[in-house]
A and B are shown apart, each in its own frame.
Chain A
Amino acid sequence: MVVFGQFLEVLIGGLLAGVLYSLVALGFVLIFKASGVFNFAQGAMVLLAGLALVRSLDFMVARGVPVWAAIVLGLVFAGLIMAISAWLIERFVVGPLVNQDGLTLFMSTIGATFIIEGAAQLIFGSDVYPLRLFPTDAWFLFESAFPGGILVNKLDVWGGLIAGILVTGLAIFFQKTKTGRALRAVADDHAAAQSVGIPISWIWFVVWLVAGLVALVAATVWGTKLGVQFSITFLALKALPVLIIGGFTSVPGAIVGGLLIGAGEKLAEVYLGPFIGGGIEYWFAYVLALAVLLARPQGLFGERIIERI
């Protein structure tokens, strides 16, 4: 019973950790789905959003603004910063590269990463800034059945709820709205979309803005977990195997991929790690992703690409 309880604890913890990875992966999916660009800058956008939020929050609280009002205003300010950065990226980075191939656009996002990371730290500072938007303690469930109970972290549960709301909202946006359909058309073919009157620069601005807002949401959860600091950019690396498994174009795929990666890596670390030296979860996630690639190159939920030669 004890062993089963411990297994359940690791499994639940892994699934919830996976949802937190999905929050970052969603930003990648949005940009890829709408523009065919793999956005290397997503991790940097999480950092920028987090810094804008936490610094403005600290600024207002220090001047006596009530905490609830400071949170609302801080979120608005950070959203505004993400809107400005979306406009700048569209105007100066990806906009001039319309109709270029995917690799060119990808390279441009690498450049954008360095600029965003540098500018964010230059403007908002490079210390560790604590952020407390969600509770970080834990529940201990089923204590009568399992000695010590099953630990479930409240922050992870909040992350899961937020991810659920985000996915629902984004799914509706992509499937049911005119702008969402236009985004998908642009992703299929820039030139064809332009030829039928879709304003590509406006569409790209919208998609980078939405990705920026998703980054802000990820920053609220991860910032609470780690404190807002440069290392938050490394989350992009945790999101990669999630994307490979879920597919680069599927919003629900990002969630399922996150669940599989989270549970897989945690179970592997706890039960397999001690036999092979530990510290395996990082590469184990990529092994899982590789296994999926061998069976389904487009990921579990990705679109199968058929091209006429």
Chain B
Amino acid sequence: MIRKTLALAAAAIGMTAIAEPVLAQQNEQFIPLLVYRSGAYAVNGVPYANGVVDYYNLVNERDGGVNGVKLTFEECETAYATDKGVECYERLKGKGPTGAAYVNPLSTGITFALTEKTLADKIPIITMGYGRADSKNGSVFTWNFPLLGTYWSAADIAIQHVAREMGGADKLKGKKISLVYHDSPYGKEPIPALQVLAQKHGFEFTPVPVTHPGVEQKSQWLAIRQNRPDYVLLWGWGVMNGTAIREAAAVAYPRDKMLGVWWSGAEPDVTPAGAESVGYKALMLQHGAQRTPVHADIEKHVYAKGKGITEKDKIGEVLYNRGVVNAMLGVEAIRTAQSKFGKKPLTGEQVRWGYENLNLSAERLKELGFEGMLRPIKITCADHEGARDGRVQQWDGKAWKIISDWYTANQETTEPLVKDVSAKYAAEKKITPRDCAKES
């Protein structure tokens, strides 16, 4: 009898021990993290991933999660390789009590590979500042969210800035603009928009591909020296950016006539070239290298508890901030979705609704500690980009300095392209576009 009682007690204790984590797990929202902390692009991938992780930890430590639902996450190393990215997605998409809330591939190549998979799995795919530009059209690309700016918006902003420097859009006629780009889906993405802009403004556009990873660019820059373009746009990533600046210096191409996309405008892109980088410019995906109240919160609630993931002096760098912004938008999408579906772990389908109804006003951004980093963003069924604003920064040898006012991408230029390309995609994949007027 005593033995039986002891056995029952032991079983009860055992069940409690097992049940507690299970119960805890049931109140957790799982987010897969596709990262690259190794490989050719780790220099850029690491700070971004650190920003994401620090923000999720901040939400857990400071707020106890999103309305009491703890955020859990697991990193999977893609090394920026599409095959590994797909493998990571397949491995992580079903984790947590409700599966993945959303996925950030952090690679346009992986985005192309996952677009149809996420459609089938009903998981939103978030490509903030990258990915397929045509996926801005939410009526066709229900699950894709190229938040804050597509490459077609970036191309338009870049040409707006070049035009302003030259004294007006009419001065672009007859000028030569080259695009030095990473020969990958990422680098090729702005080409259709730049071709449209070249036709519109009458400038000569020359695309110049650079093979992955971009350690050798001598022939491209010798060709540029011979062609003598008036401006060079740079669509590089990782080692390609620093090498491009070095080679530009070697052929005496002026750095202040180079304008990088927002993935070519972080600290690791300019520091290797030292003084040769001075004058180089890059677009900003709204934010720059800066510190706002959210950074103070991260230091207070995460780093003070020893849970920080990077060195303190890296907090506030460009790519770290991009990771923080990306994580914040995800958290706010979950919060928005909770307002409709309840304060509990949500499925990817429910979080998708949260993204599509995300509306962050200036006041809300201030409350969140992002004042000065971001402008208001409003996502709708028809507009999965939500905002298309940018500025231009210039490297002065020690820090990035903002040198322009805000630009907003001209939708008159990009929208016909979005409609045309997304309609072709819908026809090819037999997708019936949603009627956004009926969506709520």
A interface residue numbers (CB < 8 A to B): 6, 9-10, 13-14, 17, 121, 126-130, 132, 136-138, 148, 151, 153, 155, 225-227, 229-232, 234-235, 238, 265-266, 269-270, 273, 277-279, 281-282
Is B31 an interface residue when CB atoms closer than 8 A count as contact? Answer: no
Interface string of B209-245 (1 = CB under 8 A from A): 1110101101110110110000000000011001100
Bound Cα distance from A225 to B209, whole angstroms: 20
User: In whole Å, how far is A235's beta carbon from the nearest beta carbon of chain B?
Assistant: 7
In the assembled complex, which residues on chain B have CB atoms less than 8 Å from the CB atom of A6?
222, 226
Known A269-B220, A270-B222; 18 more pairs at CB < 8 Å: A9-B222, A10-B222, A13-B222, A126-B38, A126-B43, A127-B43, A128-B272, A136-B249, A225-B243, A227-B271, A229-B239, A230-B39, A230-B43, A231-B238, A266-B218, A266-B219, A277-B209, A279-B211
Over the window 191-210 of chain B, the binary record of Cβ atoms lying under 8 Å from chain A Cβ atoms (1 yes, 0 no) is 00000000000000001111
Tell me the bound Cα distance from A279 to B217 in angstroms: 10
What are 20 A-B residue pairs whose CB atoms fall within 8 Å in the complex? Answer: A6-B222, A6-B226, A10-B219, A14-B218, A14-B219, A126-B37, A128-B43, A137-B249, A226-B246, A226-B272, A230-B42, A231-B239, A265-B219, A266-B219, A269-B223, A270-B223, A277-B209, A278-B209, A279-B209, A281-B219
Contact of A17 among B211, B218, B223, B246 (CB under 8 A): B218
> Which residues from A are CB-within-8-Å of B274?
130, 132
Q: Closest CB of chain B to A286's CB: distance in Å?
A: 12
Query: How far is A281 from B209 in the complex, measured between Cα atoms in Å?
Result: 10
Judge whether B251 and A151 touch: CB under 8 Å: yes
Q: Nearest B residue to A126 by beta-carbon distance?
A: B42
Q: Contact: A279 with B210, CB < 8 Å?
A: yes
Looking at the complex, which one of A132, A148, A153, A226 makes contact with B239 (CB distance below 8 Å)? A226
Q: Is the pair A136, B246 in contact by a Cβ cutoff of 8 Å?
A: yes
- Do the beta carbons of B251 and A127 come within 8 Å of each other? no
**Cross-chain contact B225 with A151 (CB below 8 angstroms):** yes
> Which 7 pairs show the lowest CB-CB distances between chains A and B?
A227-B272, A279-B209, A269-B219, A231-B239, A282-B211, A279-B183, A266-B219
B117 CB to closest chain A CB, in angstroms?
28
Nearest CB in chain A: distance from B42 CB, A: 6
Q: Say yes or no: A266 contacts B209, CB within 8 Å.
A: no
- How many contacts between A and B, using CB within 8 angstroms? 110
Q: Is B250 an interface residue (CB 8 A)?
A: yes
**Residue contact B218 to A13, C-beta cutoff 8 Å:** yes
Min CB distance B195 to A, Å, is 14
- Minimum Cβ distance to chain A for residue B143 (Å): 31
- Indicate the member of A17, A155, A230 with the most B CB atoms within 10 Å: A230
Chain B residues with Cβ below 8 Å from A14 are 218-219
B276 within 8 A of A: yes
Alpha-carbon separation in the docked complex, A121 to B42 (Å): 11
Q: A235, B209: Cβ atoms under 8 Å?
A: no
Q: Name the A residues within 8 Å of B42 (CB-CB).
A: 126, 230
Q: Is A234's CB under 8 angstroms from B222's CB?
A: no
Query: A281, B211: Cβ atoms under 8 Å?
Result: yes
Chain B residues near A229 (CB-CB < 8 A): 43, 239, 272
B86 close to A (CB within 8 Å): no
Q: Does B268 contact A (CB under 8 A)?
A: yes
Chain B residue numbers with a CB within 8 Å of A231 are: 40, 213, 215, 238-239
B222–A151 CB distance below 8 A: yes
Asked if B40 and A230 make an inter-chain contact with CB atoms under 8 angstroms apart, the answer reads: yes
Q: Which residue of A is nearest B184, CB measured?
A: A279
Task: Provide the residues of chain A in CB contact with B183, threshold 8 Å.
Answer: 278-279
- Closest A-chain residue to B220, C-beta based? A269
| Alpha-carbon separation in the docked complex, A225 to B272 (Å) | 9
Which chain B residue shows the least CB distance to A265?
B219
> Which chain B residues border A126 with CB–CB below 8 Å?
37-38, 42-43, 46
Q: Tell me, rounded to whole Å, the shortest Cβ–Cβ distance linking B150 to chain A.
A: 23
Given A136-B276, A265-B219, A279-B209, is A127 in contact with B268 using a C-beta cutoff of 8 Å?
yes
> What are the residues of chain A within 8 A of B225 when measuring CB–CB?
9, 148, 151
CA distance A217 to B280 in the complex (A): 30
Contact (A128, B268) CB under 8 Å given A226-B239, A230-B40, A270-B223: yes
CA distance A277 to B144 in the complex (A): 30
Q: B215 touching A226 by the CB < 8 A rule?
A: yes
The reply to whether the CB of B252 lies closer than 8 angstroms to some CB of chain A is yes
Q: Which residues of B contact A138 (CB under 8 A)?
A: 250-252
Q: How far is the CA of A121 from the CA of B207 in the complex (A)?
A: 35
Report the separation of the CA atoms of residues A291 and B219 in the bound assembly, to the nearest whole angstrom. 22
